[in-house]
A and B are shown apart, each in its own frame.
Chain A
């Protein structure tokens, strides 16, 4: 290949007055952007290799570095924008499907930002969470339809297995393989400290993390990697992964280069072999097959573990969810089109699926219309970015939220969206030992706990403002929400009134 037509996307700007040539940037960049000019103390940078992960910027002790968008632009064209043209060049160079990672970056509507939350004034007192108890505990799972009493007239206080969470948030599925051992260790330890759950993703459960089983949701995906009896037994709950918001309708592909050592052992596939996750579960073509898998998993674990079915938010999600609710699942997890991924075809990531806010509103309402909302809990993910997004999701009808991108950000991710390269400078989306060690789980788990503590405080503040002192009274409480700048149709789907109404 001769000239590739691709100008560097970013420019590394080094303030020579501040650079002390300590070489931290040189040593820390796995993309080998920085180098000492041979025989000198001068550091040079190759812009073309930079992915804008900001590792060097964060570690530079004198703040001598910044990464800026390369302002070398093609001739302006509102139809053929710069990124579109670059993608054409890339494909003309390689002949391949474009790959990306993390969530959809396109400027599509973020409904969270068009929904506002209520507060109490005069007719009803706000509650101060610093003075009054404020509860965030939730239970996920199926609830019996009728109270039962024994022959003595006393309540038979028997519940089906449920997932108890100290707050309505869980760390969403990220497989060991797509992320590092230390990232998993951080998530597991934080989940335990917080009284919530993390999710293994489809790559199996490393033997070191069985100790965190009570805070672990194990995934059974179409590739069945790492699924065996002890794996199911170890978990708090089992999740059947039918789809993922970032790439609905397709499977996955973890390159053989990441299937090394423990990853290979945990996935139960040979080292160096590509891990291909099929698009469908080949034992689930229609809905009745799903029911069989749900009950196979329940049988295998003596009906002691709730079963979650995770699907991507697609056009007829309400009907799909209704089908899942009738399949014996205890929890439905819905992943919106803005959800993250370690690697997805760009076209799919950016064009397939629907926003989680609309999917959630539609599903919650449909399950209520059909009178089966109590048969399942609803967990939603796909770009839940803050405590206020969580509050809005719950008020729309979710029982809990899944977060993954926010959790990765807490671990140091800078959303450079090049996970697929395997050279994550932050030690997260990589299996290279020298990079993996950059994420010390002591630091990682602490930062996750901090993030969740902060969100918990914010959730309490928001609830207190509404005069609500338990998250149960917020769930599905759509009267607490108002839309701004939304059409009648959007408001109707969300089931909320417009601000001012």
Chain B
């Protein structure tokens, strides 16, 4: 029997793309779907997905939990579990379009929820940590239920299929967001599973990733010390948890977090003339050696109010950035950017380990 996702480690190649409006102008999903078309050959139809920010403004105070269920019973059990912990503001099926290219669908639901304050007080946990623990619990212990999106005012949509079909299937033309990321997957040895498609998310962090990291098990075994459970055995999952750990729990800035996972070489650090910067890099590398990510990767991290694009420190995967007016584009190939915006300018390939951080202006998201 072919092993399921999570039972084996699956290396995969990929295509990524992203767009963001610095002014917070909202765009439908059509443009990002188009961007994936010229990169069709970078995927093999075994996974595609999108993350969109700013799509649920009317529910912005609630965590939007997107679920895959294998059966109605599972959903009932899971709902009962949620009710003990959260106020469920709204529960509904995520609307989809039937397509011949997308088959074997699970039940796809979303819940807008707020943690019960009494429960938080009992557990002495802050809200985000509580949501993280809930997600970890459901994804590891509740067979047949899987939360694939858990942030506020954002959502992930993913499936087994080519990304351009997945976008149509989820009716992304009907959503409007200020930032979008997209992913097409080329897994090498699995039939593909809906939950295994990208983006991978935790809270409002979403990661699309192209590459195969060689540091995987070193990173995984480290991050699992802090309550994270890598159930999917994918790079994207572990990268998401690392970023959550560094940014939310260690309260590092984005660029500091980038300096941990794509740390400059010691020789580069030693050559730095800015002594404060040098000390900072020595400190971060010494403190978090096990969170250095090696091997090829290009990632786009989505978060509340922005995106960060980052390559591995040797730049072993392609990634280009371009801009036009208020919009910034990131993609594995320039062709994808040209589809989104034929007149995009300032095109460049960021150096290995050089984070490109784009934020929406304050108050516009």
Q: Do A and B bind each other?
A: yes
Interface residues, chain A, with chain B CB atoms under 8 Å away: 120, 123-125, 127, 132-133, 135, 137-139, 143-144, 146-147, 149, 154-155, 157-159, 162, 368, 371, 373-374, 397, 466-470, 472-480
Residues of B with C-beta under 8 A to A373: 222, 225
Report if B273 contacts A (CB, 8 A).
Answer: no
A467-B286 contact given A123-B12, A123-B13, A371-B225, CB 8 Å threshold: no
Residues of B with C-beta under 8 A to A477: 214-218, 221
* Contacting pair A125 B316 (CB below 8 A): yes
Report if B290 contacts A (CB, 8 A).
Answer: yes
26 A-B pairs with CB atoms under 8 Å apart are A120-B214, A123-B188, A124-B211, A124-B296, A125-B316, A132-B314, A133-B267, A135-B265, A135-B266, A138-B289, A139-B286, A146-B250, A147-B287, A155-B256, A466-B214, A467-B212, A467-B294, A467-B295, A468-B294, A469-B313, A472-B218, A473-B292, A475-B218, A476-B221, A476-B290, A479-B9
* Contacting pair A368 B188 (CB below 8 A): no
Instruction: Kindly provide the distance from the CB of A498 to the nearest chain B CB, expressed in whole angstroms.
Output: 13
* Contacting pair A472 B224 (CB below 8 A): no
Sample of 9 further A-B pairs with CB below 8 A, known A135-B265, A149-B251, A468-B215:
A154-B276, A155-B256, A162-B286, A470-B292, A473-B219, A473-B292, A474-B218, A475-B218, A477-B215
A159-B214 contact given A470-B292, A476-B222, CB 8 Å threshold: no
Mark each residue of chain B from 80 to 123: 1 if its CB lies under 8 Å from any CB of chain A, else 0.
00000000000000000000000000000000000000000000
* Contacting pair A125 B296 (CB below 8 A): yes
A159 to B286, CA, bound (A): 8
* Contacting pair A368 B221 (CB below 8 A): yes
A279 to B313, CA, bound (A): 50
* Contacting pair A124 B214 (CB below 8 A): yes
* Contacting pair A468 B290 (CB below 8 A): no
* Contacting pair B221 A478 (CB below 8 A): yes
CB-based nearest B residue for A481: B217
Interface residues, chain B, with chain A CB atoms under 8 Å away: 9, 11-13, 188, 211-212, 214-219, 221-222, 224-226, 250-252, 256, 263, 265-267, 276, 279-280, 282-287, 289-290, 292-296, 313-314, 316
* Contacting pair A371 B226 (CB below 8 A): yes
* Contacting pair A368 B224 (CB below 8 A): yes
* Contacting pair B314 A479 (CB below 8 A): no
* Contacting pair B295 A124 (CB below 8 A): yes
Residues of B with C-beta under 8 A to A474: 215, 218
Question: Which of A132, A144, A397, A468 has most chain B Cβ within 10 Å?
Answer: A468
* Contacting pair B214 A157 (CB below 8 A): no
Instruction: Kindly provide the distance from the CB of B239 to the nearest chain A CB, expressed in whole angstroms.
Output: 13
Residues of A with C-beta under 8 A to B252: 147
Cross-interface CB contact of A157 among B215, B280, B294, cutoff 8 Å: B280
CB-based nearest B residue for A127: B314
Tell me the dominant secondary structure on chain A's binding face. loop
Residues of A with C-beta under 8 A to B221: 368, 397, 476-478
Residues of A with C-beta under 8 A to B266: 135, 137
Number of A-B contacts (CB under 8 A): 111
* Contacting pair B214 A472 (CB below 8 A): no
A475 to B222, CA, bound (A): 10
* Contacting pair A470 B294 (CB below 8 A): yes
Cross-interface CB contact of B294 among A146, A154, A469, A479, cutoff 8 Å: A469
Residues of B with C-beta under 8 A to A146: 250
CB-based nearest B residue for A480: B217
* Contacting pair B286 A473 (CB below 8 A): no
Instruction: Kindly provide the distance from the CB of B332 to the nearest chain A CB, expressed in whole angstroms.
Output: 16
Residues of A with C-beta under 8 A to B286: 139, 143, 159, 162
* Contacting pair B214 A133 (CB below 8 A): no
Residues of B with C-beta under 8 A to A154: 276
Residues of B with C-beta under 8 A to A476: 217-218, 221-222, 290
CB-based nearest B residue for A369: B225
Residues of A with C-beta under 8 A to B225: 368, 371, 373-374
Residues of B with C-beta under 8 A to A479: 9, 216-217
CB-based nearest A residue for B276: A154
In the A-B complex, the 7 residue pairs with the closest CB atoms = A473-B215, A479-B217, A157-B283, A467-B214, A472-B289, A123-B11, A477-B218
Residues of A with C-beta under 8 A to B13: 123
Residues of A with C-beta under 8 A to B285: 472
Residues of B with C-beta under 8 A to A158: 283
* Contacting pair B212 A123 (CB below 8 A): yes
CB-based nearest A residue for B286: A139
Residues of B with C-beta under 8 A to A475: 218, 289-290
Instruction: Kindly provide the distance from the CB of B108 to the nearest chain A CB, expressed in whole angstroms.
Output: 30
Residues of A with C-beta under 8 A to B11: 123-124
Residues of B with C-beta under 8 A to A127: 314
Instruction: Kindly provide the distance from the CB of A122 to the nearest chain B CB, expressed in whole angstroms.
Output: 8
A147 to B263, CA, bound (A): 17
Residues of B with C-beta under 8 A to A125: 296, 316
A162 to B266, CA, bound (A): 16
CB-based nearest B residue for A478: B217
Residues of A with C-beta under 8 A to B284: 155
Instruction: Kindly provide the distance from the CB of A144 to the nearest chain B CB, expressed in whole angstroms.
Output: 7
A397 to B286, CA, bound (A): 17
Residues of B with C-beta under 8 A to A472: 215, 218, 285, 289-290, 292
Residues of A with C-beta under 8 A to B294: 467-470, 473
A476 to B219, CA, bound (A): 9
Instruction: Kindly provide the distance from the CB of B326 to the nearest chain A CB, expressed in whole angstroms.
Output: 29
Instruction: Kindly provide the distance from the CB of A342 to the nearest chain B CB, expressed in whole angstroms.
Output: 35
CB-based nearest A residue for B211: A124
A305 to B222, CA, bound (A): 26
Instruction: Kindly provide the distance from the CB of B251 to the nearest chain A CB, expressed in whole angstroms.
Output: 7
Cross-interface CB contact of A143 among B224, B287, B292, cutoff 8 Å: B287
Residues of B with C-beta under 8 A to A149: 251
A468-B214 contact given A123-B13, A132-B314, A157-B279, CB 8 Å threshold: yes
